[in-house]
Amino acid sequence: MRRAAGFLLVLLFGLGALALAGYAVLDRTTAAWFERDLQLRSSLAVQSARRSLVRNWSDRSNLTAVLQDITRDERILGAAACSAAGELVAATQGYPQEFPSAALERRLAEGTAGEPSWSTTADLPMGRVHVSATAVAGEVGPLGFVVLVHDLSFVARREATTRDLLLVAFFVLALGAAVVTLLAARVAWRGWTSELRKALSGGPAGSFQPLVRDVRSLAERLARERHSEAGAGVWGADRLRAALKQHLQGERVVILANREPYIHERTKDGIRVQHPASGLVTALEPVMKACSGTWVAHGSGSADRETADAMGRVRVPPGEESYVVRRVWLTEAEENGYYYGFANEGLWPLCHLAHTRPIFRAEDWEHYVRVNRKFADAVCEEVDSDDPIILVQDYHFALAPKMIRERLPRATILTFWHIPWPNAERFGICPWREEIISGLLGSSIVGFHTQQHCNNFIDSVDAYVESRIDRETRAIVQGPRRTLVRPYPISIEWPVHWLEDMPSIAACRALVLADLGLADDVLLGVGIDRLDYTKGIEERLLAVDQLLARWPEFRGRFTFAQLAAPSRTKILRYRELNERVEALAKEINERWGNASWRPIVMLRSHHEPPSVFRHYRAADLCYVSSLHDGMNLVAKEFVAARDDEQGVLVLSQFTGASRDLTEALIVNPYDLQQSSAALAAALRMPATEQRERMQSMRRIVSEFNVYRWAGRMLVDAAELRRRERLSGRLSSPSGATSGESA
């Protein structure tokens, strides 16, 4: 009923506006009609009395009598005869004496050049009048003009009556149209819902066929998820293990990723284990703990070789040892060409809209191909069947799926692209675009964070590779092989195991403020990032600068702590960014700070997860200002850390996370006015509103966590493998696929 009332109000308002516009047009049109009518009447009146006027033109008293006869119409106020020069010859008693004679004389004088008649309107104290002048010609030439003055009050009365009738008519019409429209909509809605119910119940789908197919697919997926659940509740490690046991019979999963989850570094105090600052590691490690299996990665630590066996294997996490890391060794030239060169100077800026020009070198591409082959071989060495489940991660290994497929044609390969995929035109910049797309199409499923990235990938395939696009099932078909393209929004573990032994919120705040040398009553903001130009760290600091400039109340009270782990320092663009950020922080501190307070605290070093989560719990706000990000898990980590349901998340609209965490303060990080205003709003936000927003976001993160992300992908992979096995049995003359395990 409320929706119908809103529809009626909008319809009535629209028709009312249309009525007013129609009245304005009609008013001007009728006014022009009335003026033409009065001009015609005046001309006819003068022409009918022409002989009398000509005969008595020189006799003032008789001429006045003739003019008096012409003014018998009650709407004619008065009449006058003027010479050709505009001088008044005679006039009736009702002729307005206040009429501007000088203007009339000038107009009459202008009219003697051959204009037979003219008219105009004028405002007099008695009201608005219509003035018409009609030429009178004698036998020897023009004598002058007869001027008639009409009262226009009757026109105003008619216009008012017309307006009222028009508005009433439009109102009745609008009301009738609204009622008819509502009735028609209800009848149509009943027909649609009836047809849809029949289609969902198994009847003919008709025009609802695509919708019914999507609904049934969703219902099947939800049913599978419920069926695979070990117990009630959200997705967790136990539920993921149960799903894998049911759908994959407990098989090991092999993950291929460039970054390893644990790095062994040699220090002066001995070997130290580090957990890298990586969203990919944050997301995948809980999955590996739940699934077991092998993580194939680049062994980059200075003590990695001596802590691994002869094959480069080491069990992790230390003390728990729930899965295996298989380390692959690279030469410095290979690392520079494959990782720093092609992956991070080429593909990374190509896929991120952060205004950095991608650089492509032929020698980097050669290293990229060679390293992808090396890692693909390592993966094949770690599998224990001819149809394993393999998860290939990110842009470092675009060629690996096809290489693995060549050696393991029956493998189920899921490739997840953790960064955005650009539109087809932008991706066309890459000189090896066909090879990269072809490599990814070796996958069984290619996953992205958002549907938009899926669409961009499909468009790129359509533009550059010979294939058939099945948009109905979102699949790429090349010969007998199909590659599915699916959105899988990544997330974090829930609950976060780093919070198990974490001090209380108050204790974390006290520890962090003491470490930073800040007063107990300071307002604290945090940013947690790798030092990367896509993260918008410069824009973040400039927003803090704007905050202090526009709202003096926060000077001396608000400090922003930026934890920035150095990243890819071999690349010039990253070294320049580091220098600019340092200079900008120093400039802002000099502008606003004093001996006892700094608005910006830069912490440029690697921080282990316990330290990161302490800062989350200590902060009043967290600002994620990415200029372009596939997802950004910092935003979700901040939400997970706030079990007190306080704190405010300020989040860039250019992150995938902004589609999930809609209760954050969403901003355009390029708009410093908007961003600084959001920071001010966050610092002023009442505790009750903070709680409402945080509760909603925590529900989203807890329900759509990394176990659900991995479970969806792996269940989809298992279902795809089941269909392929069945297809293989049906196509085999003996009814069984060669080499298939029991």
Domain 247-329+377-487 is found in CATH 3.40.50.2000: yes
What distances in angstroms separate CA 1 from CA 182, 194, 493, one per listed residue?
A: 11, 20, 43
Cα–Cα distance between 573 and 24 in angstroms, integer? Answer: 63
- Looking at residue 201, its amino acid is S
**Per-residue confidence band for 203, with pLDDT thresholds at 50, 70 and 90:** low
Stated as kind and residue range, the H or E segment containing 543 is helix 537-550
Q: Name the residue ranges covered by the structural domains of the chain.
A: 2-157, 247-329+377-487, 498-704
Q: How far apart, in whole angstroms, are the C-alpha atoms of residue 448 and residue 488?
A: 6
Residues 401-414 have a mean pLDDT of 95
Residue 151: name the closest of 135, 132, 130 by CA.
Answer: 130
Q: Sorting pLDDT into bands at 50, 70 and 90, what band is 191? A: confident
* Alpha carbons 230 and 289: distance in angstroms, whole number: 17
Quick one: tokens of 589? 């501190």
Confidence of residue 215 (pLDDT cuts 50, 70, 90): low
pLDDT classification of 105: cutoffs 50, 70, 90:
low
Which region among 112-126, 308-322, 477-491, 713-727 has the lowest average model confidence (pLDDT)?
Answer: 112-126
Contacts of 644 (CB under 8 A, 6+ apart): 505, 617
**Residue 148: which of 87, 72, 85, 84 has the closest Cα?**
72
User: Which 8-state DSSP code applies to residue 113?
Assistant: T
Amino acid 351: pLDDT: 96
**Partners of 129 in beta bridges:** 122, 151
Contact between 329 and 371 under an 8 Å Cβ cutoff? The reply is: no
Q: Which class is domain 2-157?
A: alpha beta
Q: What is the pLDDT of residue 373?
A: 98
The CATH-assigned architecture of domain 498-704 is 3-Layer(aba) Sandwich (3.40)
288: pLDDT strictly greater than 60 = yes
**So what's the pLDDT on residue 279?**
66
Strand pairing partners for 132? 119, 148
3-state secondary structure labels for all residues of 225-236: HHHHCCCCCCCC
Per-residue pLDDT, 326: 97
What average pLDDT does this structure show over 372-388? 94
Please list the residues that pair with 131 across neighbouring strands: 120, 149
- Helices and strands (DSSP H and E) totals, the chain: 24, 23
Instruction: Give buried/exposed letters for 568-601 (b at 16+ CB in 10 A, else e).
Output: beebebbeebbeebeebbeebbeebbeeebbbbb
634, 529 contact by CB (below 8 A):
yes
**Residue 49: its pLDDT value, please?**
79
In three-state secondary structure terms, 425 is helix
Looking at per-residue pLDDT, the higher value among 615 and 84 belongs to: 615
- 716 vs 664, more confident: 664
% of the chain beyond a pLDDT of 90: 51
**104: pLDDT confidence band, cut at 50, 70 and 90?**
low
Q: How far apart are CA 716 and CA 714, in angstroms?
A: 5
Residue 115's pLDDT is 55
> Do 2-157 and 498-704 come out as alike in CATH topology?
no
H or E element, residue 470: strand 468-470
Q: What are phi and psi of 97, to 5 degrees?
A: -70, -25
- The per-residue pLDDT for 416 is 96
Under 8 Å CB-to-CB from 431, ≥6 apart: which residues?
A: 360, 365
More confident residue, 225 or 351: 351
